Amino acid sequence: MKVLIATEKPFAAAAVNGIKDIFGQTGHEVALLEKYSSRDQLIAAVSDADALIVRSDKVTSEVIDAASALKIVVRAGAGYDNIDLDACTAKGIVVMNTPGQNSNAVAELAVAMMIFMSRNKFNPGTGSEISGKKIGIQAYGNVGRLVAIKAKALGMDVMAYDPYVSPDAMKADGVIPADTLEQMYSECNFISLHIPATPQTVGSIGYNLISLMPKGGCLMNTARKEVINEAELVKVLTDRPDLKYVTDVAAACQEELNQKFCTRVFATPKKMGAETAEANINAGLAAARQIADFFETGCLKFKVN
- Binding residues for ligand 3PG (CB under 6 A): 9, 55-56, 77-79, 102, 271, 273-274
**At its nearest, how many Å lie between ligand 3PG and the CB of residue 162?**
17
Q: Nearer Cβ to ligand 3PG, position 28 or 55? A: 55
Kind and range of the H or E element at 218?
strand 218-221
Q: Which is nearer to ligand 3PG, 75 or 134 (CB)?
A: 75
Which position's Cβ is nearest ligand 3PG? 77
Q: Report d(CA 36, CA 42) in Å as an integer.
A: 8
- For the bound state, the minimum distance from the C-beta of residue 170 to ligand 3PG, rounded and expressed in Å, comes to 23
Distance in Å from the first CA to the final CA of the chain: 22
Least distance from C-beta 295 to ligand 3PG, angstroms? Answer: 23
CB nearer to ligand 3PG: give 66 or 274: 274
Strand order in the sheet with 218-221: 176-177, 157-161, 134-138, 190-193, 218-221, 244-247, 265-267
Neighbours of 261 (CB within 10 A): 18
Minimum separation from the CB atom of position 9 to ligand 3PG (A): 6
The CB density around residue 51, as the number of other CB atoms within 10 Å, is 28
Q: Which is nearer to ligand 3PG, 83 or 148 (CB)?
A: 83
Question: CB of residue 58 vs ligand 3PG: minimum separation in angstroms?
Answer: 11
| Residue placing its CB nearer to ligand 3PG in the complex, 162 or 275 | 275
Report phi then psi at 5, rounded to 5.
-100, 110
